[in-house]
Amino acid sequence: MTTIFILEIQNEQDVVQARQRTREIAEQLGFDTQDQARLATAVSEIARNAFQYARGGTVEFSVAGEPQEFLIRIQDRGSGIPHLADVLAGRYTSDTGMGLGIVGSQKLMDFFEMESLPEQGTTVVMSKRLSKRTPNFIDLQLQQIRESVMERSPQNPYEEIQRQNQELLRAMAELRKREEELTQLNRELEDTNRGVVALYAELDEKADSLQKANELKTRFLSNMSHEFRTPLNSILSLSRMLLARMDGDLTAEQEKQVTFIQKAASGLSELVNDLLDLAKVEAGKIEVRPSSFEVSDLFATLRGMLRPLLVQGSSVALNIEEPEGIGQIYSDEGKVAQILRNFISNALKFTEQGEVRVTAVQRGHTVTFSVSDTGIGIATADRERIFEDFVQIESSLQKQVKGTGLGLPLSRKLTELLGGSISVTSKLGEGSTFTASIPIIYPHATEFPTQLQPIASLEPTGLPILAVEDHPETLFIYENHLQQSTYQLIATRTLAQARQVLQQVRPAAIMLDIMLEGQNGWTFLREIKGDETTCNIPIVVITIIDNEKQALALGANGFLIKPVDRLQLLNKLNTLINQNKPQKILLIDDDPAYRYLVKQLLINTQLSILEAMNGWEGLNLAEREQPTAIVLDLEMPELSGFDVLKQLKSNPVTQSIPVIIYSSAQLDAETQSQLAKKSIAILSKETGSPTATMDYASPFLRNAPPTANAQLQDALIKAGLVLDACGQSHV
């Protein structure tokens, strides 16, 4: 910031001089005539308040910031303004008109901030950005402006009043001209409006007609679908009875005829079901039942359900990849499964050889499900048509497969119902990829699985993290981010709830959203940092607006912009909570080669690494050194890793230390489930002998970047160790 001029306000003439100086400096800084008048008016109004209510003050003119702006600071030592918040909000009324000038000055400036303390005075800081056409002023140019202002003597107050009157006359002439233009424009709009009103009336009439026709169609489809279902179910049941020979044997010809009847009835039943679902969606009668579910469980169900669709000896493989890094989804599992079933069955119908691959990837707050095939592909002109009702594209395989032409339209409507969208990419002769992007949290949910954590139910082994966030879906995401880490969430949706929690618990850190509906997060931040009992609690401000400088200036220890990734959040918490604390990690493994391997993976960090060659030594070191985390092998002589883990968790001194299982043992599902409850992560060692592993790994690790083992890095971050994105320590 470069100061240009400081003016003392001691009498009425100084108020006039403040106006003059403002205009002179603004002119030299390249502001046009209108902006000069705005600046001069705002400054004279605030300066007059300082003289009238505080008997004087100072006006400081400067240039600051990047891009540069003209900054004016007016300060007095009066008794302060008792109703400042009401004045700034325009709610304060006074017989003398006090406050109106402040509100008007605020509207004239790009930035306006006012602070007033009882018996300590009032400070007003306001600024206006320099024109984009004006190049930045260097120090020499600002020095020249300063000297020019200092040399120029004040003008006669009467001349200033005359100049102000001229500005008012010009403004009135400009307003009169604009008023005439608006009058002419209003006449033209009135003429146009009559035509628009007539057009809207006609459109409303046609819209009502179309709505009635659509309702009739939906009612017809719904009623007819229900009417068709009863006889179709009867036909299917009777044909199954005949084919099961419940009433006697059938001839070969009779069996063939009944089989044709059953296939025709099954196809018709499928069409009726699709029609009924489509009618429900269009009528808005279909109900979404959101619940929490794992994508891995959904995929396991699809594997078992869709394997029978593959013809025995088929040259098409169905590969459903295991999803990684996706937490729980809160949506309608049945409808997500129906969308994917339609995609997969469609892909299998139009793929003669190759594979159909199903994947899921989390991107921000959505999960993208993709079904790719190596089939016949879809022409560019047909990619939108396939989502129209009953449309089936002509192809060499179309005659061989049965279909209603309703699967894809229904999938699109169901996806949109869940708050998502569908897209397709394809190339003729090479295959297609259908993608459904579905929000992790159903956007219209009224209830969420995450609730305010009762204080009494907090685990003694997990560090409490207080989250102040009014959006329940964001709290749900935070809860998933902190799962299987050394932290546990205390979720609050109001500042009142947060204050209640702070009276009972001292959290390890606070995650604070500033943009709370109807509440002031900045005030809460000042309150926490101004109280000696809570000022040492690290606070991470997490919001959608990039106001990091303001957050840090008010005392925040960290700042993140939504949406926040899991590792990014954990790493920030680790950095703040473990600041200036020694970071020690204990390796318990009887194999020196694997201990060396882990040390090499962490060679570029500042972690202090302790080693134990057996379980007994590891237990002693853990109790004596209190490491930040423990990396434990399961297969050790004398005392196995299972016994070590059991004793660690039963000892009050070591039970809260996070444990990472790093072993080559083959574990069944039940054992893995039991270990997962007591550890941060279960990592598998590389196959092959330790010697062969080290012969291969050592030269690689010496030259490799610190991200050589992403799984270990991920586990260490979840265990509370401070690592950045490259695996390097911040401490």
**DSSP strands (E only) in 280-394:** 291-294, 316-320, 328-331, 354-363, 366-373
Average pLDDT, the chain: 80
Q: Identity (one letter) of the amino acid at 620?
A: N
286: CB partners within 8 A, 6+ apart: 277, 280, 417
Lowest mean pLDDT among 303-307, 320-324, 502-506, 628-632: 303-307
Domains, the chain, with CATH or none: 2-155 (3.30.565.10), 292-439 (3.30.565.10), 455-576 (3.40.50.2300), 584-718 (3.40.50.2300)
CA distances from 713 to 340, 690, 710, 724, 725 (A): 34, 21, 5, 9, 9
For 425, the token pair is: 């990419």
Binned at pLDDT 50, 70 and 90, residue 545 comes out as confident
397: CB partners within 8 A, 6+ apart: 349, 350, 352, 376
Lowest mean pLDDT among 76-80, 138-142, 256-260, 329-333: 256-260
Q: Assess whether pLDDT exceeds 60 at residue 410.
A: yes
**Cα–Cα distance for residue pair 472/475, rounded to 1 Å:** 5
Lowest mean pLDDT among 223-227, 264-268, 588-592: 223-227
For 419, the token pair is: 């708050």
| Residues 53 and 78: beta-carbon distance below 8 Å | yes
Lowest mean pLDDT among 245-259, 414-428, 636-650: 245-259
Q: What is the pLDDT of residue 689?
A: 38
**Cα–Cα distance for residue pair 696/702, rounded to 1 Å:** 11
> For residue 338, which of 271, 443, 432, 411 has the smallest C-alpha distance?
411
**Residue 440 phi, psi (nearest 5):** -60, -35
- What share of the chain has pLDDT > 90, as a percent? 14
More confident position, 459 or 107:
107
Q: What is the pLDDT of residue 401?
A: 53
pLDDT digits (tens, 9 = 90+) for 282-316: 555 567 888 888 888 888 878 777 766 665 557 88
Q: What is the pLDDT of residue 688?
A: 39
pLDDT digits (tens, 9 = 90+) for 618-658: 889 988 888 888 998 888 888 888 888 888 888 888 888 88
Mean pLDDT of 150-161: 67
**Cα–Cα distance for residue pair 179/710, rounded to 1 Å:** 68
| Residues 659 and 627: beta-carbon distance below 8 Å | no
- Which DSSP state fits 76? -
**Residue 407 phi, psi (nearest 5):** -60, -50
- Which DSSP state fits 315? S
Q: What is the pLDDT of residue 436?
A: 93
Burial classification of residue 645, based on how many CB atoms lie within 10 Å of its CB (0-12 exposed, 13-18 middle, 19 or more buried) = buried
Q: What is the pLDDT of residue 97?
A: 61
Mean pLDDT of 569-578: 88
Q: Assess whether pLDDT exceeds 60 at residue 708.
A: no
| Residues 560 and 545: beta-carbon distance below 8 Å | no
* CA 576 to chain CA centroid, nearest Å: 22
Other C-beta atoms within 10 Å of 246: how many? 8
More confident position, 268 or 132:
132
**Cα–Cα distance for residue pair 522/514, rounded to 1 Å:** 6
Q: Identity (one letter) of the amino acid at 21?
A: R
| Residues 302 and 340: beta-carbon distance below 8 Å | yes
Binned at pLDDT 50, 70 and 90, residue 241 comes out as confident
Lowest mean pLDDT among 60-64, 457-461, 585-589: 457-461
**Cα–Cα distance for residue pair 536/547, rounded to 1 Å:** 22
Q: What is the pLDDT of residue 260?
A: 78
DSSP SS3 for 600: helix
Q: Assess whether pLDDT exceeds 90 at residue 435.
A: yes
Q: What is the pLDDT of residue 699?
A: 40
pLDDT digits (tens, 9 = 90+) for 462-490: 889 999 988 887 888 888 888 878 888 99
**Cα–Cα distance for residue pair 288/333, rounded to 1 Å:** 10
Q: What is the pLDDT of residue 58?
A: 94
**Cα–Cα distance for residue pair 539/226, rounded to 1 Å:** 59
**DSSP strands (E only) in 205-274:** none
Q: What is the pLDDT of residue 466?
A: 93
More confident position, 177 or 401:
177
Residues in the chain: 731
Supply angle C-alpha 164, 166, 170, rounded to 5.
Answer: 120
Rounded to the nearest 10 degrees, how much is the dihedral formed by the CA atoms of 602, 607, 613, 614? -110
pLDDT digits (tens, 9 = 90+) for 77-135: 888 888 888 888 877 777 666 667 888 888 889 999 999 988 889 999 999 999 888 88
Rounded to the nearest 10 degrees, how much is the dihedral formed by the CA atoms of 41, 45, 50, 53? 170
Long-range contacts of 52-58 (CB under 8 A, 24+ apart): 53/78, 53/98, 54/78, 54/79, 54/121, 54/122, 56/8, 56/9, 56/10, 57/8, 57/9, 57/121, 58/6, 58/7, 58/8, 58/9
**Residue 426 phi, psi (nearest 5):** -160, 155
Q: Identity (one letter) of the amino acid at 254?
A: Q
Q: What is the pLDDT of residue 729?
A: 38
Q: What is the pLDDT of residue 329?
A: 85
Buried/exposed code over 377-390 (b: 16+ C-beta within 10 A; e: otherwise): bbeeeeeeebeeee
- What share of the chain has pLDDT > 70, as a percent? 81
Angle between helix 566-577 and 472-482 (nearest 10): 70
Q: What is the pLDDT of residue 484?
A: 78
Lowest mean pLDDT among 172-186, 188-202, 280-294, 671-685: 280-294
Q: Identity (one letter) of the amino acid at 95?
A: D
Q: Assess whether pLDDT exceeds 70 at residue 222.
A: no
More confident position, 512 or 101:
512
Q: What is the pLDDT of residue 437?
A: 93
Binned at pLDDT 50, 70 and 90, residue 278 comes out as low
9: CB partners within 8 A, 6+ apart: 15, 18, 47, 50, 51, 56, 57, 58, 59, 76
Q: What is the pLDDT of residue 403?
A: 53
Binned at pLDDT 50, 70 and 90, residue 706 comes out as very low
Q: What is the pLDDT of residue 88?
A: 83
Buried/exposed code over 583-619 (b: 16+ C-beta within 10 A; e: otherwise): bbbbbbbbbebbbbbbebbbebbebebbbbebbbbbb
**Residue 609 phi, psi (nearest 5):** -105, 125
**Residue 494 phi, psi (nearest 5):** -135, 160
